[in-house]
Structure 1
Amino acid sequence: MEKYNLLPEQLIYEGTIKEENLFAPQPLQEAQVLRTHEADYWKKLKTLSLSRKEERKTGFPLSEALVKREVTIMNGTVQAALFALQHGVAMNIAGGTHHAFTNRGEGFCLLNDIAIAAHYLLDEQLARQVLVVDLDVHQGNGTAQIFREEPRVFTFSMHGERNYPMHKEQSDLDVDLPDGTDDSSYLRLLDRHLKELMDRVQPNFVFFQSGVDVLATDKLGRLVMTIEGCKQRDRLVLETCKQQRVPLVASMGGGYSERIAHIVEAHANTYRLAQEIFF
């Protein structure tokens, strides 16, 4: 998508980040893919042998370039997690591929970067308890399925009740939002649940899916949040993690407003806030 090029350009132009703040990951190693995703599914991806039905579910025409792009994005979140352990926060301009299951892709997601990176931290004993804060307007159904039996990862998804996917998986905590939810209602709910979860779960690492498809301008969102409300959402998550000294990785997730400027501005706010709060 166009936003992946425009966002870093905007952040550098305005001075929020510098070129040296960016990193370009290499593709993820196959063993790390297989830690999260089933071998048969991965074989279908790398040999480009998904069925037409399976391909349609992903929303993408399958190609070698697409698979390479996806495994590169996956490693971006793994590397971001390592940077977050050093600096408190790190971001993946792509990622947030929360509709990818262990055995299939859906909704423009082939592999699940949050799950892959969480498994890496747990396996390397770099985290003991992970909290996934998924605030994309669509439920993180793939992430919920992957971690259904994993007590060391708590999945929290706050999403449109009547939005995609029609069949919801069961996260550890799902907060279903009615169509037309506005800034004040959204922020009040998020504040309450996030405080409760930080106390109850006691995470020492947070993955934040910061999709901006919650905006009123979004073609797929069905909520009525403003850019300022979305910014306050991000502030709440980032400040909470900073105050409690919990490292955080943000993956950008969805955003489908008609005007690309709305998408870039909302995503840029996440970076601006990270710079303000953590540095």
Structure 2
Amino acid sequence: MLKIAWSDVFAHSLPAAHRFPMAKYELLPEQLLYEGTITPQNLFAPEPLAEKYILDTHDATYWHRLRNLQLTPSEIRKTGFPLSGQLIDREVIIMNGTLQASLFALEAGIGMNIAGGTHHAFTDRGEGFCLLNDIAIAANYLLKYKSIKKVLVVDLDVHQGNGTAQIFRNEPRVFTFSMHGGKNYPFHKEKSDLDIELADGTDDKTYLTILESTLPRLLEEQQPEFVFFQSGVDVLATDKLGKLGMSIAGCKTRDQLVLEICHKNKIPVTVSMGGGYSQQIAHIVEAHANTFRLAQHIFF
């Protein structure tokens, strides 16, 4: 059975100014339930993640300052959110959503988080709406506690996964692959194991041709035992914060390519939703919903 992390705190604990783009956290499960793609049994509400697993990835001083709301005004501005205890609680629940989804993926081949993809969080700081890095926390958990020997991060959000790249810079067991807008945030890029920078306006055909020629080669070369897929839909031409030119159909084909190659090669995959900031919330929800529809069709 497909298991999907979801909690109402994903949307309700955000400041009012940020609730429009984050409305997807409520609308997406409603849409999937309404159309019959999932049932309530597919959803699970994660508990807050234990501190010890946060500290396997994040600097202890940073975590304690974050938890105690002691970040400087400059640090807070870089995260993009007003700092609050409620926001920290939300982040810690999201972290466990991805970790638990990864455990489900070990059993069923795939696990998903309606939130997550917080790839701009570094070991010792947050930025870009990311306070802690769920992909890194879950990957480190698998390496340390589940004897996974090699992880591949496939980050296809429009923004480079700079925090993930920094966290795993000196970790040969994790290969970080980020395909993103070359002239988009973050303007200072970190070095992933493989970065592919895309030109503004990159269309479906160009994007998919690059991905189709890259991903199979990476699987062959790296032989990962687990994949983390950051499936941000801010690659859409309609996205306010992206600069690419993809359609909803092209984004769906992208997700199909990633999920099918994982399924074909029997590599467990955890999917985090990442970004999506189109003017019309319907575009965001439809593009994200396609990822879940594909997961059900391909794996179950």
Q: CA deviation at 1:127?
A: 1.4
Counterpart of 1:19?
40
Q: How does 1:20-35 map to 2 (within 5 A)?
A: 20-35=41-56
Counterpart of 1:242?
263
Counterpart of 1:40?
61
2:203 to 167, 178, 182: 182
When residues 116 and 222 of structure 1 are mapped into structure 2, their CA distance, relative to the original with a 3 A threshold, is same
Secondary structure of 2:56's aligned partner: helix
Counterpart of 1:154?
175
Q: Tell me the amino acid that sits aligned with residue 61 of structure 1.
A: P
What TM-score, normalized by structure 2, do the two folds share? Answer: 0.93
Q: Is 1:114 equivalent to 2:131 in the alignment?
A: no
Q: How does 1:100-249 map to 2 (within 5 A)?
A: 100-249=121-270
Aligned equivalents of 2:248 and 2:147: distance in 1?
34
Q: Tell me the amino acid that sits aligned with residue 53 of structure 2.
A: Q
Aligned equivalents of 1:170 and 1:237: distance in 2?
22
Q: CA deviation at 1:217?
A: 0.3
1:266 to 284, 287, 293: 287
Aligned equivalents of 2:192 and 2:115: distance in 1?
23
Secondary structure of 1:36's aligned partner: coil
Q: CA deviation at 1:44?
A: 1.0
What TM-score, normalized by structure 1, do the two folds share? Answer: 0.99
Q: CA deviation at 1:125?
A: 3.0
Counterpart of 1:92?
113
Q: What number of residue pairs does the alignment pair up? A: 279
When residues 126 and 100 of structure 1 are mapped into structure 2, their CA distance, relative to the original with a 3 A threshold, is same
Secondary structure of 1:28's aligned partner: coil
Aligned equivalents of 2:257 and 2:291: distance in 1?
11
Q: Is 1:61 equivalent to 2:82 in the alignment?
A: yes
Q: CA deviation at 1:65?
A: 0.2
Secondary structure of 2:154's aligned partner: strand
Q: CA deviation at 1:126?
A: 3.9
Deviations 1:57-95 (A, max 9, x none): 000000000000000000000000000011101100000
Q: Tell me the amino acid that sits aligned with residue 114 of structure 1.
A: I
Q: CA deviation at 1:26?
A: 0.4
Aligned equivalents of 1:269 and 1:90: distance in 2?
15
Aligned equivalents of 2:65 and 2:74: distance in 1?
13
Aligned equivalents of 2:296 and 2:198: distance in 1?
30
Secondary structure of 1:108's aligned partner: coil
State the identity %: 70
Q: Is 1:8 equivalent to 2:21 in the alignment?
A: no
Secondary structure of 1:103's aligned partner: coil
Q: CA deviation at 1:124?
A: 1.1
Q: After alignment, is 57-66 or 123-132 more displaced?
A: 123-132
Q: Tell me the amino acid that sits aligned with residue 38 of structure 2.
A: I
Q: Tell me the amino acid that sits aligned with residue 42 of structure 1.
A: W
Q: Tell me the amino acid that sits aligned with residue 165 of structure 2.
A: A
Aligned equivalents of 2:29 and 2:196: distance in 1?
32
Structure 2: gaps (5+ residues): 1-21
